[in-house]
Chains A and B, each alone.
Chain A
Amino acid sequence: MTLPLPIRDPGESADQAFNVPLEPDIFDSVHGIATAQIRALTPARIFQRRSGTSLATSELLSFQLDLGRARDAVQAALQPASFLPELNRALSGRASAVLLHSAARDRREYLQRPDLGRVLDAASAGVLQQRARSIAPAVDRSSLAIVIADGLSALGVERNACPLVAALLPLLPADAWQLQPVCVVEQGRVAVGDEIGQLLRADMLLMLIGERPGLSSPDSLGAYITWKPLLGRNDAERNCISNIRAGGLVPELAAMRIAALMQEATRLQLTGVALKESSLPLEAGQ
């Protein structure tokens, strides 16, 4: 779509009011090829069309659309009725999904009280304790707790969590990994995985959580892995793989990186700053 050029007094070579000699015609339709070339160099909003010193309407609305999508993603709620069956299909019998809720009652409380998003509410803790009693201890293999939380983008979870789990499971042989019930947490933050991992007596925690939406990425998923999850673990004791989404790190490649990290973490018996992904023999995902 091409907008008409801003109308300008041809005698006006510089805008004296702010002392910048603007030339609206540098990147106009005559030089459209040049504009397209340079805009292709970065996802940043450069060489935007303008009127005077302000953005042209098309540029303004494009920004507002992306902002609206990002803000919708923050407010969106996970839909367990559709998500849980899809997750169970992705798990293909290796584990079953459990729905839990953090102590943050709603989005508003979640956004203002990060401490509440880091712990389960009483009912969920009770449910999980009951499940934990019926789990046999892992012998000769590592126990893995996968936790999926809405975080700041339920959209990121709905679009990417199941494809990621489906791609990851074949990389985790049953003779090496015992899967615990996969916990889906509403209004959850990263650290809620620690409480869950501890209750399930897991050796390894894989936390999948919706990331803070950017204007160009409302649906991004983050993966945090933590060896021996315990209440009170800090972020320096985890490893993170970020930007998992169709337009970023695709779930299939993310699964390979996560599997490689978890394998190395199990060998070293640690996660965090001492575990460097760059030292891993990765076949993909760089």
Chain B
Amino acid sequence: MKFQHTIGDITHSFSSLRELLAVATPFRSGDALAGIVARSAEHRVAAQYALADVPLNHFLSEQVVLYEIDEVTRLIVDSHDHAAFAPIASLTVGEFRDWLLSDDATSKRLAELAPGITPEMAAAVSKLMRIQDLILVARKINVVTRFRTTVGLPGRLSARLQPNHPTDAMSGIAAATLDGLLLGSGDAVIGINPVGDNPATVTGILRMLDTLRQRFEIPAQTCVLAHITTQLEALRLGAPIDLLFQSIAGTQRANSSFGIDLSLLDEACAAALALNRGAPCADGSVGTNVMYFETGQGSALSANAHLGVDGKAVDQQTLEARAYAVARRYNPMLVNTVVGFIGPEYLYDGKQITRAALEDHFCGKLLGLPMGCDVCYTNHAEADQDDMDSLLTLLGTAGVNYVMGVPGADDVMLNYQSTSFHDALYLRRVLGLRPAPEFEKWLAGDHFARLRMESRSPALLLQGVAS
């Protein structure tokens, strides 16, 4: 279908939904690299005008990535819930934005709507939204998940404890875990990115964490973020697997470059569920959310797996939203965009990183996902801790489910800067947010007091855990 918009005596035409979405996207370096950005600021706004007039139901008939060759498109189309979509079926993209901002769009209605929204619809409406729109709407959406803790309740903020070590040394991982726990991090997950992607490493780290968890009765789930096939191998060998992790992207080809497809994720999710390791949570229900996914704008382009129906690039934000269709198939415990990790060729500076993070958080929540965010940057991006503080504060305001807790915000294994245990405490303090209820209770109880007491002799404590 052809889309157009006339400004003065110039008519701007767009030959496909793919092109329209690309030109309407606020500028970012990854789209420039892919050669699909607007020719001018006026060209971009013309595309936004044209996009605002596209009926939402048009998204059900025109795809940006070919149905026949892409299983993510097939998942999006085949799993679309027409009944849930009905209340917004007559709206255009522009009218959808107005409705989302209106008082008609309550938390309950937004939750019911989620299965009726496709990633492309979410991406489209986000392109017409300012940062305050992205925050205001996302804040209305509560996506609550449970394993041993309850994450995503209103007024709560959780943190992933990320105690990575450059050589996977058990004592080093344990020491950083201890620091994080003492500073109130870990209620989203205690998750380690290993250097060694093999079942023995995964099992070793998981056993150490499980020993620590049981010894101090910590209401937390653990995860080692190796490739999912490595985690499955560890699971078969008897490793104490709580959550299974995988990086995912928005096209079949990009997922293939990660060495995964939907059938592998189906198998993994079933295997993790069968372990029944979730616990009764604060509301009495047993936690059954077992998957943890990470995403990030630019991953498809970096894998040269970003082309759409007309052989041209799909913009990186639309592809990111499509990754959320993959995630929601598995009712995950945690999903986070690792927004600034990929580098300046995709998101150049603090401004681009900030907008991308809030888009990702909004789109994920709108699609029904428990969104967290790795607020982060690499040393070759035009960004610093001030940009991260700003973004962290904005995300807290938007109701982000969790952020990262990395010792001193400096990940000594992955060589990038994220947020720290202290940053999470800052956000809880300034916004009056509390940890997950189970974790909050633990922090006030005897087991945490014992952990603090034993921490006075850390060598002895760690010897008992990490030897």
Does A70 reach chain B (CB closer than 8 Å)? Answer: yes
What chain B residues lie within 8 Å of A3 (beta carbons)? none
Does B415 reach chain A (CB closer than 8 Å)? Answer: yes
What chain B residues lie within 8 Å of A213 (beta carbons)? 379-380, 415
Whether the Cβ atoms of A214 and B458 lie closer than 8 Å is: no
A 119-139 to B, binary, CB cutoff 8 A, 1 in contact else 0: 000000000000000000000
CB contact under 8 A between A21 and B32, given known A42-B165, A44-B164, A46-B179:
no
What chain A residues lie within 8 Å of B429 (beta carbons)? 15, 17-18, 53
Contacting residue for A44 out of B32, B176, B348, B385, CB 8 A: B176
Whether the Cβ atoms of A74 and B379 lie closer than 8 Å is: yes
Q: Which residue of B lies closest to A45 (CB)?
A: B408
CB contact under 8 A between A212 and B184, given known A44-B164, A112-B348:
no
Does B464 reach chain A (CB closer than 8 Å)? Answer: no
What chain A residues lie within 8 Å of B13 (beta carbons)? none
Contacting residue for B458 out of A38, A74, A152, CB 8 A: A38
Whether the Cβ atoms of B379 and A212 lie closer than 8 Å is: yes
Whether the Cβ atoms of B175 and A114 lie closer than 8 Å is: no
Does B462 reach chain A (CB closer than 8 Å)? Answer: yes
Whether the Cβ atoms of A42 and B175 lie closer than 8 Å is: yes
What chain A residues lie within 8 Å of B426 (beta carbons)? 53-54
A 1-24 to B, binary, CB cutoff 8 A, 1 in contact else 0: 000000000000011011111110
CB contact under 8 A between A17 and B432, given known A34-B458, A214-B412:
yes
Whether the Cβ atoms of B169 and A19 lie closer than 8 Å is: no
A21–B171 CA distance with the chains assembled, in angstroms: 25
What chain B residues lie within 8 Å of A41 (beta carbons)? 169, 171-172, 174-175, 462
Does B208 reach chain A (CB closer than 8 Å)? Answer: no
Whether the Cβ atoms of A215 and B443 lie closer than 8 Å is: no
What chain A residues lie within 8 Å of B174 (beta carbons)? 41
Q: Which residue of B lies closest to A152 (CB)?
A: B380
What chain B residues lie within 8 Å of A113 (beta carbons)? 33, 345
Which residues of A40-77 have CB atoms within 8 Å of chain B's CB atoms?
Answer: 41-48, 50, 53-55, 59, 63-64, 66-67, 70-71, 73-74
Contacting residue for A14 out of B165, B412, B432, B444, CB 8 A: B444
A18–B159 CA distance with the chains assembled, in angstroms: 13
What chain B residues lie within 8 Å of A21 (beta carbons)? 443-444, 448-449, 452
Whether the Cβ atoms of B412 and A112 lie closer than 8 Å is: no
What chain B residues lie within 8 Å of A112 (beta carbons)? 29, 32-33, 344-345, 348
Q: Which residue of A lies closest to B182 (CB)?
A: A26
Does B2 reach chain A (CB closer than 8 Å)? Answer: no
What chain B residues lie within 8 Å of A47 (beta carbons)? 179
What chain A residues lie within 8 Å of B420 (beta carbons)? 45, 55
Q: Which residue of A lies closest to B448 (CB)?
A: A21
Q: Which residue of B lies closest to A20 (CB)?
A: B184
State the total of A-B contacts with C-beta under 8 angstroms.
158
A45–B169 CA distance with the chains assembled, in angstroms: 15
Whether the Cβ atoms of B452 and A26 lie closer than 8 Å is: yes
Q: Which residue of B lies closest to A72 (CB)?
A: B379
B 399-415 to A, binary, CB cutoff 8 A, 1 in contact else 0: 00000001111101001
Does A37 reach chain B (CB closer than 8 Å)? Answer: yes
What chain A residues lie within 8 Å of B384 (beta carbons)? 67, 71
Does A111 reach chain B (CB closer than 8 Å)? Answer: yes
Among the 9-residue stretches B50-58, B74-82, B433-441, the one with 4 or more Cβ atoms under 8 Å from chain A is: B433-441
Which residues of A261-276 have CB atoms within 8 Å of chain B's CB atoms?
Answer: none
CB contact under 8 A between A50 and B422, given known A26-B182, A26-B452, A67-B379:
yes
What chain B residues lie within 8 Å of A19 (beta carbons)? 184, 428, 434-435, 440, 443-444
CB contact under 8 A between A38 and B425, given known A17-B432, A44-B165, A70-B379:
no
What chain A residues lie within 8 Å of B164 (beta carbons)? 44
- Counting chain B CB atoms within 10 Å of each CB, which of A21, A23, A113 scores highest? A21
CB contact under 8 A between A44 and B407, given known A22-B183, A152-B380, A213-B379:
yes
Does B459 reach chain A (CB closer than 8 Å)? Answer: yes
B332 to chain A, nearest CB (A): 26
A14–B434 CA distance with the chains assembled, in angstroms: 13
B303 to chain A, nearest CB (A): 10
Does A217 reach chain B (CB closer than 8 Å)? Answer: yes
What chain A residues lie within 8 Å of B457 (beta carbons)? 34
Question: What is the interface size of chain B, counting residues whose CB is below 8 A from a CB of the partner?
Answer: 59
A112–B440 CA distance with the chains assembled, in angstroms: 44
CB contact under 8 A between A46 and B176, given known A34-B456, A111-B344:
yes
Does B378 reach chain A (CB closer than 8 Å)? Answer: yes
CB contact under 8 A between A37 and B459, given known A50-B422, A214-B415:
yes
What chain B residues lie within 8 Å of A42 (beta carbons)? 165, 169, 171-173, 175-176, 407, 412
Whether the Cβ atoms of B462 and A215 lie closer than 8 Å is: no
Contacting residue for A217 out of B32, B343, B415, B448, CB 8 A: B415
Whether the Cβ atoms of B33 and A74 lie closer than 8 Å is: no
A219 to chain B, nearest CB (A): 12
What chain A residues lie within 8 Å of B396 (beta carbons)? none
A12–B381 CA distance with the chains assembled, in angstroms: 42
Contacting residue for B348 out of A50, A63, A111, A216, CB 8 A: A111
Does B4 reach chain A (CB closer than 8 Å)? Answer: no
A259 to chain B, nearest CB (A): 24
Whether the Cβ atoms of B409 and A54 lie closer than 8 Å is: no
Whether the Cβ atoms of B380 and A212 lie closer than 8 Å is: yes
B433 to chain A, nearest CB (A): 7
What chain A residues lie within 8 Å of B344 (beta carbons)? 111-112
CB contact under 8 A between A54 and B422, given known A42-B165, A217-B415:
yes
Does A115 reach chain B (CB closer than 8 Å)? Answer: yes
Whether the Cβ atoms of B33 and A114 lie closer than 8 Å is: yes
A111–B377 CA distance with the chains assembled, in angstroms: 14
What chain B residues lie within 8 Å of A66 (beta carbons)? 410
CB contact under 8 A between A63 and B459, given known A19-B440, A41-B175:
no
A114–B302 CA distance with the chains assembled, in angstroms: 10
What chain B residues lie within 8 Å of A67 (beta carbons)? 379, 384-385, 417
Whether the Cβ atoms of B380 and A111 lie closer than 8 Å is: yes
A67–B165 CA distance with the chains assembled, in angstroms: 19
What chain A residues lie within 8 Å of B280 (beta carbons)? none
Of the A-B pairs whose beta carbons lie under 8 Å apart in the complex, a sample of 8, sorted by A's number, is A19-B434, A38-B459, A41-B175, A55-B420, A64-B385, A71-B379, A73-B379, A111-B345
Q: Which 7 A-B residue pairs are closest in the complex by CB-CB distance?
A: A45-B408, A214-B415, A42-B172, A20-B184, A53-B425, A18-B428, A44-B407
Instruction: Point out residues on B near A: beta carbons under 8 Å.
Output: 29, 32-33, 163-166, 169, 171-176, 178-179, 182-184, 343-345, 348, 378-380, 384-385, 406-410, 412, 415-417, 420, 422, 425-426, 428-429, 432-435, 440, 443-444, 448-449, 452, 455-459, 462
Q: A42-B165, A44-B176 are in contact. List 14 more A-B contacts (CB 8 A).
A: A20-B435, A21-B444, A34-B456, A42-B173, A42-B175, A44-B406, A44-B412, A55-B408, A67-B379, A111-B344, A114-B33, A214-B379, A215-B412, A216-B412
